[in-house]
Amino acid sequence: MQIHTLDKARLILDIQLSDHLRQAVSQGRHADFSLMLALLSEDPTETTPLQPPYPQKATEADLRMAFKLPEPIRLSAEEKDYELCREQANAFHKGGLSSEKLLEYTCPSALSFPAIGTHELGEDLYHNLCSHVRRKLQPAPPSLPTYNKANLYHELVASKLFLSEKREYN
């Protein structure tokens, strides 16, 4: 009786197993089949790192560039949206609805155009305010810097010296 140990055999090809692999499948010997299959496969610890580096998470900008997606549609308008809408209106008057839609799909404009200069209030609310409240909403004029009268002369002399040194280097 010959005992064949498959664990000591160094298998390279399935031809070396000859008919044993087919017999293990047909006779339902799951243990033998899995052992022979393991001998034919490469050792995953030799080629695969045990501590693989974690891949960097893709940002939204990376995914947009990879899938060639346009920029997301802004919710509220900026300065460039007013110029873009002017171009879209011009395209509509010159080329019709299809020309305007093409421009809209390539360069989407913002979804809402809030009123400018209403201090983030709704336009109807802002226009219902009395003039005294509107005046209070205006930003305060910039205040002039206060100078210490005792050190004013020394500060002026120091600034004059600084300006004269700057001119000498230029």
d(CA 88, CA 99): 8
- Please count the structural domains in the chain: 2
In a domain, 126, yes or no: yes
In a domain, 49, yes or no: no
What are the residues facing 112 on neighbouring strands? 76
Residues 37 and 79 in one domain: no
> pTM score, two decimals?
0.38
Q: If we measure between CA atoms, which residue out of 79, 70, 72 comes closest to residue 113?
A: 79
For residue 21, what are the domain limits? 1-43
Determine the residue type at 131. S
Instruction: State the Cα torsion 122-127-133-136 to the nearest 10°.
Output: 70
d(CA 36, CA 7): 9
Residues 79 and 118 in one domain: yes
Residues 79 and 21 in one domain: no
Handedness of CA 154, 158, 163, 167 (dihedral sign): positive
Contacts of 123 (CB under 8 A, 6+ apart): 114, 115
CA-only gyration radius of the chain, Å: 39
pLDDT tens-digit profile of 18-42? Answer: 787 778 888 988 888 888 777 777 7
User: Do 118 and 111 touch, CB atoms closer than 8 A?
Assistant: no
Residues 39 and 75 in one domain: no
Residues 18 and 74 in one domain: no
In a domain, 151, yes or no: no
Q: How far apart are the first and last CA of the chain?
A: 102
Instruction: Provide the pLDDT for residue 38.
Output: 78
Instruction: Provide the pLDDT for residue 66.
Output: 92
pLDDT tens-digit profile of 99-155? Answer: 999 988 888 888 888 888 888 888 888 889 888 888 888 877 777 667 777 788 888
